[in-house]
Amino acid sequence: MMQIAKSTVRPNRDRFFIALSAMMLLIVLVGFSPTFFLHRLFGEAPLPTYLHVHGVILTAWFCLAFAQTCLIATGRMAAHRRIGVASVFVAIAVVAINLVTLGIRATSGRIRGSRWLCSAANSTSTRSLLRKTNKAGDALGSGIDFDFCTGD
| Domain positions in the chain | 11-139
Q: How many CA atoms lie within 13 A of 96 on its CB side?
A: 11
- The predicted pLDDT at position 148 comes to 47
Listed in sequence order, the residues at least 6 apart from 83 whose beta carbon sits closer than 8 Å to its beta carbon are 64, 67, 68, 71
CA–CA distance, 83 with 86 (Å, rounded to integer): 5
- Which run of H or E residues covers position 62? helix 49-73
Please report, for the chain, how many H helices and E strands are present, in that order: 5, 0
Q: For the chain, how long is the longest CA-to-CA vector?
A: 64
Within 8 A by CB and 6+ apart from 141, the residues are 48, 49, 50
In sign, the C-alpha dihedral spanning 64, 66, 69, 70 is: negative
> Which whole-number Å values give the CA distances from 14 to 30, 65, 81, in the listed order?
24, 14, 18
pTM of this structure: 0.66
Res 147: pLDDT: 47
User: Looking at residue 62, what is its pLDDT?
Assistant: 97
Res 11: pLDDT: 72
What residues in the chain have per-residue pLDDT under 50? Answer: 1-2, 4-5, 113-114, 140-148, 150-152
Backbone angles phi, psi at 38, to 5 degrees: -120, 35
Check if the beta carbon of residue 144 is closer than 8 Å to that of residue 136. no
**Do the beta carbons of residue 38 and residue 47 sit within 8 Å?**
no
